[in-house]
Amino acid sequence: MLAVASGVAASDPAARSQGPDARGRASAVRAVPDEAAVQRELRLKRIARLRQQGRGSDAHRLLPMLKDPDAEIRRQAELAIWSVWGRSGNADVDRLFRAGVQQIGREAYDDAIEILSRVVDNKPDFAEAWNKRATARFMAGDLVGALDDVERALSLVPEHFGSLAGYGHIYFRLDDLDRAIHYWERALAINPNLDGIARSVEAVRRLQVGRGRLST
């Protein structure tokens, strides 16, 4: 009877599969990649490649990723967008642009304005140069000049959430709170990851409520 039972077990496919499957399942599972993880890594690599080599015209490929459910995809996409926006396609112009940005970082706003003026004179279709000169002018207190530069930047790149946010800051400084909120919300509609801008909207709405209470 023992010999017969062994023979039956050997001829039964279900019985045969129990041994090899139990022993090899762990290694088999490890050998099959997680498709979602593979796709995520592939997307991150593509974002990194654009960040290193892309130009401003490539930003449209990255903008939709600002609303991705994956926080790291969103973060890397925003960094890549700023990188590609910062390239004009002309190496000499880009060097001059970076020098102007450095002056903003040093709070040497007059020098930044002078350098970035040379950039936009040489490359008037370079939206980020207009945006950065707007920043320098804003910091120097030239709100009218900053408004002009933001308008030029947005005429070239309507989706420039940095320029839209800049509009909001300028109008806030001018005490036009409705317009400030309007432009901040437009920036957030493109890039909902601008946490500081979202907080500004909330703070200004509270300020408006407070002013309404004071006036009644």
Mind listing the pLDDT tens digit for each residue in 171-212? Answer: 999 999 999 999 999 999 999 999 999 999 999 999 999 887
Question: Cα dihedral sign for 49, 52, 58, 64?
Answer: positive
Confidence of residue 145 (pLDDT cuts 50, 70, 90): very high
Q: Is residue 6 part of a domain?
A: no
For residue 208, give its domain range.
159-216
Domain boundary among 64, 84, 104: 84
- Computed over every residue of the chain, the mean pLDDT equals 88
- Whether residues 101 and 69 share a domain: the answer is no
pLDDT score, position 38: 87
Which has the closest alpha carbon to 143: 151, 134, 152, 131?
Answer: 134
Task: Indicate if 167 and 197 belong to the same structural domain.
Answer: yes
Q: Taking residues 42-51, what's their average pLDDT?
A: 94
Question: With 70 as the cut, is the pLDDT of residue 140 above it?
Answer: yes
The count of C-alpha atoms lying within 13 angstroms of the C-alpha of 175, restricted to the half-sphere facing its C-beta, is 1
pTM of structure: 0.80
Same domain (yes/no): 79, 117: no
Strands (E), the chain: none
Residue 1 is assigned to a structural domain of this protein: no
The total number of structural domains in the chain stands at 3
Domain assignment of residue 18, yes or no: no
Residue 29 belongs to some domain of the structure: no
d(CA 195, CA 4): 74
Position 21 confidence tier, pLDDT thresholds 50, 70, 90: low
- pLDDT for 29 beyond 90: no
Tell me the two tokens of residue 196.
Answer: 């500081």
Identify whether 153 is part of a domain.
no
Same domain, 165 and 193: yes
Please indicate, yes or no, whether residues 99 and 137 belong to a single structural domain of this protein. yes
Residues 201 and 175 in one domain: yes
pLDDT at 8 over 50: no
12 found inside a domain: no
Do 165 and 129 belong to one domain? no
Q: Look at residue 14 in the predicted model and tell me its pLDDT.
A: 47
Q: Is residue 114 included in any domain, yes or no?
A: yes
> What tokens does 159 get?
């989706």
Confidence of residue 63 (pLDDT cuts 50, 70, 90): very high
For residues 135 and 171, state if they share a domain.
Answer: no
Does 14 reside within a domain?
no
Q: What is the pLDDT of residues 113-132, one digit of tens each?
A: 999 999 999 999 999 999 99
Dihedral of CA atoms 159, 162, 164, 170 in degrees, nearest 10, equals -160
